[in-house]
Amino acid sequence: MATQSRPGALLRARGLQSPRWRHSLRLVRRVLLYTALIGGALFFLFPLAWMVGTSLKTIEEVGRSQLTLMPERPQWQNYEKLLNDSTFYRAYLNSVFIVSLVLLGTITSVSFVAFSFSRLQWKGRGVVFALMMSTLMLPYQATLVPQYVMFHELRWIRTFNPITIPGFFAGGAALVFLLRQFMLTIPKELDEAAMIDGANPLQIWWHVIMPLSRPAVATITVFLFVGQWNNLLMPLIYLQKPALYTMPIYVAQKLNLQESPLPWQDVMAASVLFVIPVLVVFLFTQRYFIEGISTTGSKG
Amino acid sequence: MKRFLFLLLVALIAFPAALPAGTSPAQARQEQVLEIYITGLTEDTMNWFREVAFPAFEAAHPGVKCEILTGGWGDFDVTVAGWITTGEGPDIVYLGSEYAATYGDLLHNLDPYFADWEDWGQYLPAAIDTVTYDGHIRGLPLLMSPRPIFYRTDLMKGEIPLTFEDALEFYRANTILEGGAAKQWAFMDIGNDLFDAQEFIAYIWTAGGELYYEDGTSAFDSEPVAEAMQYMYDRRRIMRPTEDTAGLPPFEGTALASGLVISGIFPMWAVPPTSDPIWNNVEMAPYPAGKNGSPLIQVFIDWLSVPAYVENPELAVEFLKFIGSKDNAIALKQVAGFTPTRQDAWDEIKATDPVWAKLLDLTVEYGRAFADIRASAELRPLIFEQMTLFLTDQQSLEDTQAALKEEYDIILEEAGYLD
Amino acid sequence: MASEMRLHNLKWALLTVIFIIVSSVALGLLARLIARLRGLSETEQRKIFWGFTLAGPWIVGFFIFVLGPALASLYYSFTDYELGQKMEWVGLDNYRKMLLVYGRQGRQFNKAMLNSFYYALIGVPLQILAALIMALLLNHEVRGIRFFRMVFYMPVILAGGPAILLAWRYMLTTNGGFVNEAMRKIAGMFFIFDYLYRGFIYGMEAFNGFYAGIAQGDPIGPLKYTAPALLGALILWLLARGEWSEGKRLLAWRAAQIVGLAMFFRLASKGLMAQPVNPAWLYAAGIAALGGIAWLGWLRHPRLRLTQGALLAATIALGIAVLARRDFALGDAETQRYLLPLALTALALIGAWIGPWTARTYRLLALFGALLSILLLVRLAPGQLDGGRLEVLMRYLTFGSTLDRTDDLDYLNKVYPVQTMSSLWFYGLAIAAWLGVAGLGEAHPMARRRLAWGGAALFALFALGSFLDGRAYFQAFERLAQASGKPNYHFSLFRQAIAQFPSSDRVPLWMNSELWSKPALILITMWSSGTGMLIFLAALKNVPRELYEAAEVDGANVWQRFVKITLPMISPAMFYNIVIGMIAALQTFETIYILQTPLTLDSLQSAAYLLYARTFSELHIGEGAAMSWILVVIILTLTVLQFRFSRSWVHYEA
């Protein structure tokens, strides 16, 4: 231990801590840091770029060289083909519809529940909250099959209901927990003051707490949006009908085409159109999102 | 801002909800929708259904709207088993060759509906057998896909082999390996992995064996099975001496035309169109056989069934009769590359297309339908598991045979085939 | 069609909202009524009403979507339910298939669990390393850092969907795919890169080949002792060196707890599932029950009587369950073997429950406990504790070999794995040594040091001895195969992989080989490890700057600051990431769905994927439900560990 701390002492002894030395040291460090950051960014962005590049190739180019990222002449007709495909439209609309409905239902109900768990003092809250947290540990597999049987009894298979309706019941204890953690940080005095003014809990929820919880609501919205937009398993199990297919199924089914070689340029074009909404939402909300996790993540 | 977002969300829900998808809701309510599930066909074939067949059928049956559902063989069991066991699903389900025994009574008995259909006499007896369970017709054989082995006569060294022994010699002579990767393969199977469960069953047959003994138990412990397994193993080791040998480099177009593959088993839709000049250099032949067996060509018959949950099968049967007509059978052959199962459609094909003529003759001579595979949904993963272990040197032949036999017997018993 | 469906769905959504409002308010009113009956004040009642009403959506949903289905699936797991068929009660049969590795289902489940274990063992550390490096890079406040944070995180939101996974699948094409082509180009630039790349291929194939052998169930011979011996030596060494601290005591405890728990699960899953149950398990259960009560009584715990009652009921239930499986006849000697421990335990429990709780009861309990312990040892001894098995310990200490015959394939393959001592004894020994060191602690520094160093040396010796012996074991197979001219099936993929250093045009086979399918999946999870990165980032932000400044003044360099300050301060985040990563490894679904090929599915699939395939493709709902409950137990255990440990970790750092 003792010997290892020598370099610092040596530097000091030789007067190498002069401002100029320090300056150039910092410069070298900065260059190294940026090199690493840019290298990392390339690694993380590459599959996306590859997807876009491939989607603009011809089938011959797809078969030929695998090292060129962008084709010489971009084949926009790959996209045109998709946009002329009515099943593509249908899948897109279905996805938009499902995700919007789930967002509306889930965010509203989750905010009620989180409000109750954080801002209201009631007997039994601890027990119910503990119960909710314990469901976090229960993996979804435990309930997957009986739920299927239940929806089957309800005659809900081959409808959107099994995917959208559960959200209305504050689906996802993790979301409630995230929002509750945030709501706990809002000063108590605010709702006490409102209470003295004669407001009931619903009014406090709407006028005091929700406006202040915007960053956390934005965070869970993005979580939910991304999760739902990407969701493959549930639609796969429940929709079973092409008129109802969502985008993830549409994209994944491209792999099932009995064609050899597989038209990767078409698969990738559909993939590009599939990820665009996720990317756009992410770009616009990532500030809330990343900060949101940094603030609540350390407690979770 | 918040109010705006909220309104946007509401608009997003309301918009697609109200947006008509092709037809107005009022119109849609009067229509009867006929849903047809199709598995694993090409994009062109789907388009033929959507753009040619459906409009014609809809024109003949006013108020009916046809919808196509598609899936791949990968999802097939999940999807179809779900429908058939829960009793909710499309009106017509496309089934693979081996499924009559799997679903049996869960499919409508169509005897009464086909009783007065004179076209029935035109269908190949083997195709009718495939769709028959418990003595009753369960569907309509839509198309068949004989899968011969294709040989590139311009590239190959040696004669077309008809025995296991000759075949191995042929593969040895025609495979080129360089470093750790293949440059040319003497043979390519349908899955490109040098192993396929259906092909394995074909070699059991050509080795003179069967899947079941007289009493219905599994015959995986028999001598022909061992011969077939050893053949597949030796073949794999010729083209992939070790498990870390890489496969062929990427190629444009079909494998047969790539020049990298000397022979292979392909369905007709995965080879160049028969008008292509390459067919001057392509020969077709049945699968090589073992010591006590004879060569054959495996024939897959895909058929359309009407599940028992469909309350009014009349309309579905109407569609089956429509799609099974001679004209449609020929049209499907053009677009999908499948052989029709009715023989009156053959004459025209034979007259115009020498390649198909040859194929059909071979099929009549050597064809064996891929049918009567019991509990196939569970057999397939079992074969994959055990054969993978054997082919990759992780398990001996004797142990593999014993495991296959033991476990398939359990499956057969659980599924009620051994009573 | 679709638009009609959407309207249908909207209608149902509206009905649902009405249902939720009505049922939530009803729930609130009910809670209020109960509150009034219990005589709570008016304000309390109001609060309860609002609380329950607003939490209502979740509570109602909990009953409909969680509790009901969970109970149903628990019930299914004891039946042979197949969709569309009559279900029959089969008891523990489904669980037995999975845990005792019966038949194809058992083998597949075992393989899936081993795959998940691989992801946890190799994938999770790599993922955490990637996340940590990313977080450290991003923890600088420089220009443009927001952009980089965004880019580094972005894969997370993409990786959940099929699109980017398809792109990966395409990029990972074996022959001519982008990844392989690019790597080959880079390797070709400079000969050292080439050797590194081939070395990488060699290492990966050797390791994965070895793992494939284990997954396939090939015996590993004496190597089975190497892992526990190494683990024991490593932790004892950590405990021995330097000053004693509270952290070390915790380390010893935690290690003992984790390994002990794993041992318990393994023993319990094998022992309690066996048919018939070994009576030793009943003795052990009795000892545990008595020990628990004695301990609680000693603490004068307020819930003592409740626990006593519960234990009594549990013992009786266990007894009935075990006896019900057999033809019950009092005169039968077999039955008596089961009755004895049950009767003893029940007698002691009833006595303790009825009688006054005095010092005498303790003594009586202790007496019974001791009696049961002796009976337990007697029961176990003939199988496990004979001289032949124990000799393993002696042989390695004297640099001997435990292989009696190396010229007999049957002996190597079948006899050796059964006749030798179980490796669990080594784990047990290690646990005893750790606990011994922790117990001696500060009070007996001399004895502690001797035990720690001595133990570490001893275990190191075991590790070395068993490794050399294991090598001899592997070589014996090779010799036998060469002598007989037959192929060698023992760890064949591993042997193929190590036989030759890859030539310079060899490429990783990714999805075309089980040697590479798991690394491909790990590569993708590393690419999308942004969630872990954010958690690390949050933790890094919480490290007080003053600590670094103080360290800098002391002349600590970057590495020292990282090891001494950063790592301990972010260890809760680390532990959280590890546990979350392990749980995710068990539940991977989308990635496997998109990447799998028929040949690699077995080597790739997680328990969750197998569960999906088994229930929805083969429709064996009963077995699927049993699998899901095994998963639930594992995940619950991991989560509880996470909660308990993170608390103690934070304590000792603060």
DSSP B394-408: SS-HHHHHHHHHHHH
Decide if C631 touches A, using CB distance below 8 A: yes
Best residue of A260, A266, A281 to probe chain B, by most B CBs closer than 10 Å: A260
Write the residue in C506, C597, C613 that is nearest to B179 by C-beta. Answer: C506
Chain A: nearest CA to C27, how far in angstroms?
13
Please give the pLDDT value at position B23: 42
All residues at 6 or more sequence positions from C469 whose CB lies less than 8 Å from its CB, including other chains: C221, C222, C396, C401, C402, C403
Tell me, rounded to whole angstroms, the distance of Cα B2 from its chain centroid: 55
- Tokens coding C156: 């997370």
Q: Find the residue in C nearest to B387 (Cα).
A: C599
Determine the Cα–Cα distance for residues B174 and B186; give it in Å rounded to an integer: 5
Please give the pLDDT value at position C408: 85
Is residue A219 domain-resident?
A: yes
* pLDDT, tens digit (0-9, with 9 covering 90-100), for B23-54: 444 444 456 888 888 877 777 788 888 889 99
For chain C, the average pLDDT equals: 83
All residues at 6 or more sequence positions from A18 whose CB lies less than 8 Å from its CB, including other chains: none
Chain A: nearest CA to C54, how far in angstroms?
5
Is residue A75 domain-resident?
A: no
C10-40: b (≥16 Cβ within 10 Å) or e: bebbeebbeebeebbeebbeebbeebeeeeb
Lowest mean pLDDT among A121-130, B2-11, B389-398, C83-92: B2-11
- Tokens coding C240: 């021995």
Residue B369 sits at φ, ψ, to 5 deg, of -75, 145
Q: pTM score > 0.90 for this model?
A: no
Please give the pLDDT value at position A12: 53
Q: What is the mean pLDDT of residues B172-179?
A: 88
Confidence class of residue C251 from pLDDT cuts 50, 70 and 90? Answer: confident
Chain A: nearest CA to B171, how far in angstroms?
23
Whether residues A93 and A162 share a domain: the answer is: yes
**Burial class of residue B256 (count of CB atoms within 10 Å of its CB; 0-12, 13-18, 19+):** buried
CB–CB of C573 and A275 under 8 A? Answer: no
- Tokens coding B73: 């063989």
Cα–Cα nearest to B126, from B376, B377, B366: B366
Q: Which residue carries 């401002």 as its tokens?
A: A19
Helix (H) or strand (E) holding C147: helix C145-159
Whether residues A213 and A150 share a domain: the answer is: yes
Q: Chains meeting A at 3+ CB pairs closer than 8 A?
A: B, C
Best residue of B43, B78, B93, B254 to probe chain A, by most A CBs closer than 10 Å: B43
- Tokens coding C338: 């089961």
First to last CA, chain B: 70
Chain B: nearest CA to A131, how far in angstroms?
31
All residues at 6 or more sequence positions from C110 whose CB lies less than 8 Å from its CB, including other chains: C98, C101, C215, C217
Please give the pLDDT value at position B222: 94
Whether residues A158 and A273 share a domain: the answer is: yes
Whether residues A193 and A111 share a domain: the answer is: yes
Q: How is A141-157 classified by DSSP, letter by letter? A: HHHHHHHHHHHHHTT-T
Helix axes B397-414, B376-391, angle to 10 degrees: 170
Is residue A259 domain-resident?
A: yes
Chain A: nearest CA to C632, how far in angstroms?
6
Q: Find the residue in C nearest to B400 (Cα).
A: C489
Determine the Cα–Cα distance for residues C238 and C240; give it in Å rounded to an integer: 6
CA angle, residues A201, A206, A212, in degrees to nearest 5 = 110
Decide if C648 touches A, using CB distance below 8 A: no
Residues of chain A with pLDDT under 70: 1-18, 65-66, 256-261, 289, 291-300
Q: How is C408-432 classified by DSSP, letter by letter? A: -HHIIIIIHHHHSPPTHHHHHHHHH
Angstrom distances, CA of residue A278 to CA of A110, A179, A223? 22, 22, 10
CB–CB of A257 and B17 under 8 A? Answer: no
**Residue span of the structural domain in which A42 resides:** 3-55
All residues at 6 or more sequence positions from C104 whose CB lies less than 8 Å from its CB, including other chains: B381, B382, B385, B407
**Number of A–C residue contacts, CB under 8 Å:** 326
Neighbours of B267 (CB within 10 A): 17
Decide if A65 touches B, using CB distance below 8 A: no
Report, in this order, helix, strand and coil percent for chain B, each rounded to 5. Answer: 50, 20, 30
Determine the Cα–Cα distance for residues B172 and B167; give it in Å rounded to an integer: 9
Contact B141, B301 (CB under 8 A): yes
Q: Is A299 left (phi over 0), alpha (psi -120 to 50) or beta?
A: alpha
Q: Which residue carries 């929708």 as its tokens?
A: B33
- In the chain, the amino acid numbered A154 is L
Task: Say what the alpha-carbon torsion angle B410, B411, B413, B416 is, to the nearest 10 degrees.
Answer: 170
Decide if A29 touches B, using CB distance below 8 A: no
* pLDDT, tens digit (0-9, with 9 covering 90-100), for B122-147: 888 888 888 888 888 999 998 888 88
Lowest mean pLDDT among C269-273, C311-315, C318-322, C508-512: C318-322
Helix axes A264-297, C530-541, angle to 10 degrees: 20
Determine the Cα–Cα distance for residues C63 and A172; give it in Å rounded to an integer: 14
Please give the pLDDT value at position C637: 84
Query: Residue C87: its chain A contacts at CB < 8 A?
Result: none
Interface of C with A in 579-618 (CB under 8 A): 583, 586-587, 589-590, 593-594, 608, 611-612, 615-616
Write the residue in C57, C171, C535 that is nearest to A113 by C-beta. Answer: C57
Whether residues A104 and A47 share a domain: the answer is: no
Write the residue in A44, A128, A229 that is nearest to C154 by C-beta. Answer: A44
Higher pLDDT, B163 or C573: B163
CB–CB of C512 and B377 under 8 A? Answer: no
Confidence class of residue C375 from pLDDT cuts 50, 70 and 90? Answer: confident
Query: Residue C598: its chain B contacts at CB < 8 A?
Result: 191, 193, 384
Whether residues A196 and A292 share a domain: the answer is: yes
Whether residues A40 and A115 share a domain: the answer is: no
All residues at 6 or more sequence positions from C101 whose CB lies less than 8 Å from its CB, including other chains: C107, C109, C110, C217
Superfamily of domain B147-299+374-414 in the CATH hierarchy? Periplasmic binding protein-like II (3.40.190.10)
Chain A: nearest CA to C427, how far in angstroms?
29
Query: Residue C597: its chain B contacts at CB < 8 A?
Result: 193
CB–CB of C608 and A139 under 8 A? Answer: yes
Give span(s): CATH 3.40.190.10, chain B: 31-146+300-369, 147-299+374-414
Is residue A161 domain-resident?
A: yes
CB–CB of A252 and C162 under 8 A? Answer: yes
- SS3 call for B142: strand
- Tokens coding C305: 């009587």
Q: Chains meeting C at 3+ CB pairs closer than 8 A?
A: A, B
Residue B92 sits at φ, ψ, to 5 deg, of -130, 130
Tell me, rounded to whole angstroms, the distance of Cα C463 from its chain centroid: 23
Q: Is C269 left (phi over 0), alpha (psi -120 to 50) or beta?
A: alpha
CB–CB of A298 and C2 under 8 A? Answer: no
Please give the pLDDT value at position A291: 64
Q: Find the residue in A nearest to B45 (Cα).
A: A258
Please state which CATH number belongs to domain C93-174+510-653: 1.10.3720.10
Whether residues A160 and A239 share a domain: the answer is: yes
Q: Domain B31-146+300-369 - what CATH class?
A: alpha beta
Please give the pLDDT value at position A237: 82
Write the residue in C3, C487, C618 that is nearest to B378 by C-beta. Answer: C618
The 8-class DSSP code of residue C620 comes to: B
> Tell me, what's the ipTM?
0.86
Q: Find the residue in A nearest to C149 (Cα).
A: A290
Domain count, chain A: 2
Please give the pLDDT value at position B262: 93
Contact C566, C543 (CB under 8 A): yes
Residue A261: asked if its preceding bond is cis (omega within 30°), the reply is yes
Interface of C with A in 168-187 (CB under 8 A): 168-171, 173, 176-178, 181-182, 185
Query: Residue A257: its chain B contacts at CB < 8 A?
Result: 42-43, 72
Decide if B275 touches A, using CB distance below 8 A: no
CB–CB of B180 and C506 under 8 A? Answer: yes
Is residue A66 domain-resident?
A: no
> Pairing between strand B92-95 and B64-71?
unpaired
Q: What is the mean pLDDT of residues B317-331?
A: 88
Whether residues A194 and A45 share a domain: the answer is: no
Cα–Cα nearest to B305, from B130, B142, B112, B92: B92
CB–CB of C599 and B384 under 8 A? Answer: yes
B301, β-bridge pairs: B144
Please give the pLDDT value at position B192: 67
Chain B: nearest CA to C616, how far in angstroms?
5
Q: What is the mean pLDDT of residues C571-587?
A: 84
Query: Residue A274: its chain C contacts at CB < 8 A?
Result: 161-163
